[in-house]
Amino acid sequence: MRQGNRSIRAVDLKPFEEWYQHFPEVENLQLDLQGREACEKALRDAQIVYDLAADMGGMGFIENNRALCMLSVLINTHLLMAARKFGVQRYFYASSACVYAADKQTSPDVIALKEADAYPAMPEDGYGWEKLFSERMCRHFREDFGITTRMARFHNVYGPHGTWTGGREKAPAAICRKVIEAKLSGHHHIEIWGDGKQTRSFMYIDDCLKGTQAILKSEILEPINLGSNELITINGLVDMVEEIAGIKLKRAYNLKAPKGVNGRNSDNTLIKEYLGWEPGIRLRDGMEKTYRWIHDQIVSGSKKV
């Protein structure tokens, strides 16, 4: 809308009252995109499609709901079929760093993942397999049917207007929520999943949006990393949020909780070659904005998840 576009259609499974952003100026549809008819309703007369839809969440969700994550293949299959039917001009597919082979992510001192590291395939069980398969579908719909498909492998997107409670939240939002709740309650304790030594990179939503639009408009045919390469441990992320909150908490480590791979980072060589750009918003800056927003949600009593 800010870029001057007015013919916009937004689609989500959630009821409208649960949308964080709901603009009456655009067409808003509540649809279950696992169904073929719903996908056709969503894409009729569309020229540009951003396929961001998936049944997913943080590690706690995807490790315990592998079948549900796999069923997202229905969304992507039916959307691609509808895109072919209605002659969509450009189709963006949001893939994930979870497609990368597990044996490349066994150490916290991880070597940043190159796009070629997705094969030989050994992705995150359930969610990662579905994403990898849907990447191949996008490729073959382009090769066989001429749909201009573009794909990006998102690395841990975070920021305001994201899920922060309810079981689907990812580490940045979960840690912000736990620190805020500890501070407000006076119980200065925090539970950390795993030993806290696992490493990740986290991409702020503004970088994600900029990269997504640039990749869609580009001539990049293969799936490409879209992520920050600023590596941090989970313990380091807790340190950062504590500093933002002005508090120190006693830590308890839940070694039985889902924690994902030991290390994951984004190799940005290709995106810099193609676009002359890479995600660059500092984690500290993005986490402060995220913390403030979640704090406001908690204090206001928001029930949105």
- Known catalytic residues? 127
**Residue 200 to residues 67, 138, 159, 266, Cα–Cα distance (Å):** 25, 27, 16, 9
> Any idea which residue has 């996008």 for tokens?
138
CA 162, 168, 171, 177 dihedral sign is positive
* Secondary structure in 3-state letters for 239-261: HHHHHHHCCCCEEEEECCCCCCC
Tokens of 102: 């597990």
Q: Report d(CA 261, CA 246) in Å as an integer.
A: 30
